[in-house]
A and B are shown apart, each in its own frame.
Chain A
Amino acid sequence: MSSSTEPKQGSCEYKDNLEIVMHIPIFVGLPLEPLKVLTYFCKRATFFPGDILVHEQEMDPNAYFIISGTVALTLDSSPENIILEFGEMDFLGALSLFCTRKRLFTLKAKTKATCLILPRDKFQKTLEQFPEIGRQIFEALAKSICRWEARLITEHALGCPECRAAIGPTVV
């Protein structure tokens, strides 16, 4: 793993990163100033196949945006079973930005993958400086969780009585 691209003439990593951060769903529509600060705190990292980004049960204080490559979500109890795959443009770990907790899944690079990493402590510092963006980010986060569950209900729970017991996180 390493930082991916060496800076070259004409391409400034920061500007590319800013472009990415502006389009991350939970950050869409934020004013430019906090977006710049968030981007300043982001670091690029490259993971090689088999590299573990996040370990189940371990504290991970980061959120990840996948610039290229594929990563797989698994449970340690059955590492072969891939639960979900994530690829380009996916943003993972938004909840970690708000609270420290033990991760429930393991995240592993399936191919060589380049990610933009945003650390929680620095995100929190940004939030302290721009408290008004918190509401917006939280709303976007809640909406995405609701959308996810709505999809679960329509795609699975309706046709599968056993699955019904497992739905309902959005009622919290």
Chain B
Amino acid sequence: MITKRSLYYWVKTSDLKLQSLLLFIIAISIATRVFPLEMQKRIVNLAIGLGKVDLLFLYCGLYLAAVVVTGGLKFAINILQTKLGQETLARIRKELYDHILTLPLGFFRKASAGMIVSSLVTEVVAAGELVGQAVAVPLNNVLTLVAFAAYMFYLNPILAALSFVIYPFILFSIPAMQRRANEANKARVDATRLISGKIGETISGIHEVHSNAGYRIENRRFGEMVDQLLKIRITWNIYRNAIKVMNNLFQNMGPFVLFIVGGYLAIHGRFDLGALVAFLSAYEKLYDPWKELLEFYQIYQDAKVSYKRLMEYFDIAPEFALEPHERPPHLMTGSIQVKDLYFSPGGGIHLLKQINLDLKPGEHLALVGASGSGKSTLALCIAQLQKYTSGSVKVDGKEVSDLTKRDIAENMGMVAQSPYIFDGTIKENLRYSCEALIEGESGTSESKRELPTLDEMIQVIQQVGLFVDVLRFGLSTMLPSDRDDELAAKIVRIRRRFQDEFGESLAESVEFLDEENYLYHASVATNLCYGTPNQEDFKKERLHDSAYFLDFLESVQLRALLLELGRELAIQFVDVLEHLPPEEILFEQSPIAANEIDEYRDLVPMLEGHAAHQLSEEAQSKLLRLALRFSPGIHTMVALSDDLEKRILAARMLFIQKIQQELPGAFSFYLSSDYIHSQTILSNILYGKPRTDHPNALERINQSIIHLLIEEDLLERIVELGMEFKVGTRGDRLSGGQRQKLAIARTLLKDPPIVILDEATAALDNASQKRIQNLVETQWRARTTVIAVVHRLDIIRGYDKIAVMKAGKILEMGSYDDLIARKGMLYELIHGTKAGLL
């Protein structure tokens, strides 16, 4: 297990070829480092001393060459070190993450996400970098030290011995201080972890913080922790720096000894000047490797501390084996036997007591009871998501705790109350369970499974009632302009039929594009240009700065009017919006985007008492930008005057003419025979914009469109596009019901012999709930074993067995009719005075 490995393991298992190459380069570089010292001596003694210019050039040339080579080698050493270190870092991260994912669920109930993130992102860095340096740095520097020392002894043994006298002091005093630094470092790791945990907790509970206006409480708590960390970090850094300062001090004392003794010897002619210069240089050069060694020592100590803390934290064995050993995963029929099952989270509490039940393959069991009665816990124990304390759970006669995760994944599907939807497309989420099984098979000789086909996926989304939603996503897609001309042509055909068949009846819900009429649900820019720009400077975000367009506005006397409109928009909207946080959803009904509010807030005071044309060019550009975005049907805070409307309509005609004459091709003007690539498929079919975003009206429009799509045989193609819809982080672009349906569809697609539903329909409306229940009773009848934790008693009639739970025990179990006839707990729950307590 990764958590048992020491730091040395990572050195041993790093790329040994690279490590040897590194050693080789180091060996050469040491020679090139000592060489200049010898040159120094010769330059002073031979070249200068004897006055030989040719020798001066030769030695200086050699000196230069040695310095350049040393530099190059040092760079090569750095590159190799970095590569080794970063590779190890990546390796530790991957393996640790792999390990973390398999930790028991109980671990994650206690651990915070923030803590895990900081472990994987920051705490492992020190260890990774250390491995890169582990061989090179100590070896390089020790060898350099030895080489310089040897050279010094070669020059003058007594002097050399004298200059090394201080080192034992350093070696004695530094480790003592480092121990204190280590203590502080340990405390720092713990404090950082606490802070990460706290941040993680606050962010996930931000709703609670906002609704209680608990900003101060949170900030105070956070502040206390930060202050604590501050103290620890200061202590830690003081010790680290003290070590450096002390080291420096000792180092600087060296030349003092040399000058006194060396100077004395030189004056008395017992030591030549060149040797003294070389000696001093050598001594100075000792400093670098020594400093690096010391730094390495500190990094090593810090890394050792954080690595140990890190591994201790995750040092828990997975509860269950992951992969079957030398056998394919079991394929089961789905019989379940539970015998004398107990579960206790510790502390003498029993959440499950003496549970006994027996299900034949294909039988359906509903677990009912008040919250806290243990029904979800029982489901989790059966699904191997909770390790039971004693007793046994057998699937097809095999003990669940002995099965591997793979066995369970092959044979069980689980739908949780609030299922997790991953960031990605609908399709990726649908395929998740199947894909996991396929990836699990890779590298083994088992028969290859296939990913579900489009037809299979469409079938399941139909079954769970997600079809219309996905279709709607598909209709909201924009077709890229460079492909699928055939589809575009078909959509134009549907557009024509839509106009013919529904144009009149939906006229109140849809604003159709019409060359003669003003579009209230489209922007001023769209109303003016009446087409899609093909040239960059006419694109939506740049139009207000286009000189060509501005000239046109001037020529039709619209510029001043639009600036006035922009001014009114800015004043009116800033007045309201400045009170709101800059969140996109709050700015939907405004022409000012959330990230632009500061800009316009600063602009508004300048608008007072100035005519629009007196403003700076920049301010005018901003106002024009707003005016061009203005859609009276959406931005209802400001009205569009009749006069302006007429002028814009008149200008539209002139603009189209002007472009056709001067810049043909710069715009694709709206034509009922052309596909508009800048708009969604829905807008293309409507050839206009819905006048509202209310679901009722959209539903009516959708119904008409579905009708046509079916007739034109395009429905599946659009749904396929809808499957590519990106659901957002945790599926936040989907509703709670859609997420739950998606999770059920995922399980349907996997089609395992056992399905566990943990209040899987809680977030659904009545109609959807009935649909899912119906699915359970038909699709899974007699072929899939179902265990459903149920919160609503009106859906349990179709189950073969019902178990009523209370305080961790099954009080009664039998068929619906039997239990009702017995007039026991279930009868009480449904008819008795306790009805409504569930």
Contact = CB atoms under 8 A, between A and B. Distances in A.
Contacts of A131: 213
Contact of A128 (B210, B642, B692, B696): B210
Query: A-B pairs with the 8 shortest C-beta distances?
Result: A12-B639, A14-B637, A13-B636, A9-B642, A1-B697, A7-B632, A2-B508, A57-B766
Contacts of A8: 639, 642
Contacts of A121: 585
B637 A37 contact: no
A117 interface: yes
Contacts of B700: 1
A158 interface: no
A2 B692 contact: yes
Interface stretch (B238-246, B574-582, B811-819): B574-582
Contact of A37 (B213, B576, B585): B576
Interface stretch (A39-47, A81-89, A136-144): A39-47
Given A2-B509, A2-B691, A7-B632, A12 B579 contact: no
A148 interface: no
A125 interface: yes
B2 interface: no
Interface in A11-41: 11-14, 17, 33-34, 36-37, 40-41
Interface centre among B575, B580, B585, B638 (most CB of A within 10 A): B580
A116 B392 CA distance: 60
Given A36-B575, A58-B765, A7 B637 contact: no
A3 B765 contact: no
A14 B636 contact: yes
A1 B696 contact: yes
Interface in A73-124: 117, 121-122
Contacts of B210: 128
Interface string B695-709: 011001000000000
Interface residues of B, number: 36
30 contacts: A1-B508, A1-B696, A1-B697, A1-B700, A2-B508, A2-B509, A2-B691, A2-B692, A2-B697, A6-B632, A7-B632, A7-B633, A13-B636, A14-B637, A33-B579, A34-B579, A40-B589, A40-B590, A40-B637, A45-B692, A46-B508, A47-B696, A53-B696, A55-B765, A57-B766, A58-B766, A117-B694, A122-B585, A129-B579, A130-B579
Nearest to A115: B694
Contacts of B616: none
Contacts of A6: 520, 632-633
Sort chain A's interface into a size bin. Answer: 35 or more
Interface in A46-84: 46-47, 51-53, 55, 57-59
B643 interface: yes
Contacts of B590: 40
Contacts of B581: 125, 128-129
A56 to B, nearest CB: 8
Contact of B580 (A9, A10, A14, A37): A37
B639 A11 contact: yes
B640 interface: yes
B24 to A, nearest CB: 65
Contact of B692 (A1, A10, A11, A58): A1
Nearest to B693: A43
B586 A59 contact: no
A90 B642 CA distance: 32
B641 interface: yes
A57 B765 contact: yes
A45 B642 contact: no
A129 B498 CA distance: 45
A1 B576 CA distance: 28
Given A6-B632, A40-B577, 15 more contacts: A1-B700, A2-B697, A6-B633, A9-B642, A10-B639, A36-B575, A40-B576, A40-B590, A43-B692, A45-B692, A58-B766, A122-B586, A125-B583, A128-B210, A131-B213
A97 B778 CA distance: 39
Interface in B600-635: 632-633
Contacts of B691: 2-3
Interface of A: 1-3, 6-14, 17, 33-34, 36-37, 40-41, 43-47, 51-53, 55, 57-59, 117, 121-122, 125, 128-131
Interface of B: 210, 213, 508-509, 520, 572, 575-577, 579-581, 583, 585-586, 589-590, 632-633, 636-643, 691-694, 696-697, 700, 765-766
A52 B765 CA distance: 15
Contacts of A37: 576, 579-580
Classify the interface of chain B: helix, strand, loop or mixed.
loop
Given A47-B696, A130-B579, A12 B637 contact: yes
Contacts of B638: 12, 14
A36 B694 CA distance: 22
A42 B639 CA distance: 16
Given A2-B509, A117-B694, A122-B586, A7 B576 contact: no
A125 B584 CA distance: 12
Interface centre among A3, A52, A125, A131 (most CB of B within 10 A): A3
B579 A125 contact: no
Given A125-B581, A125-B586, A7 B696 contact: no
Nearest to B765: A58
A1 to B, nearest CB: 4
Interface centre among A117, A125, A131 (most CB of B within 10 A): A125
A59 B636 contact: no
B639 A9 contact: yes
Contacts of B586: 41, 122, 125
Contacts of B636: 7, 12-14, 17, 44
Contacts of A122: 585-586
B570 to A, nearest CB: 15
Contacts of A45: 692, 694, 697
A1 B694 contact: yes
Nearest to A129: B579
Interface centre among A2, A14, A51 (most CB of B within 10 A): A2
Contacts of A46: 508
Nearest to A109: B696
A9 B697 contact: no
A6 B518 CA distance: 11
A9 B575 CA distance: 22
A2 B700 CA distance: 11
A96 to B, nearest CB: 15
B509 A1 contact: yes
Contacts of A12: 636-639
B640 A7 contact: yes
A3 B632 CA distance: 12
Nearest to B637: A14
Contacts of A51: 696
A141 to B, nearest CB: 18
A78 to B, nearest CB: 16
Contacts of A3: 633, 691-692
A40 B633 CA distance: 13
Contacts of B583: 125
Given A2-B692, A6-B633, A7-B633, A125 B697 contact: no
A30 B601 CA distance: 24
B53 to A, nearest CB: 84
Nearest to B736: A59
A37 B577 CA distance: 7
Contacts of B585: 121-122
A41 B586 CA distance: 8
Contacts of A41: 586, 589
Contacts of B697: 1-2, 45
Nearest to B641: A9
Contact of A52 (B213, B509, B520, B696): B696
Contacts of B696: 1, 47, 51-53
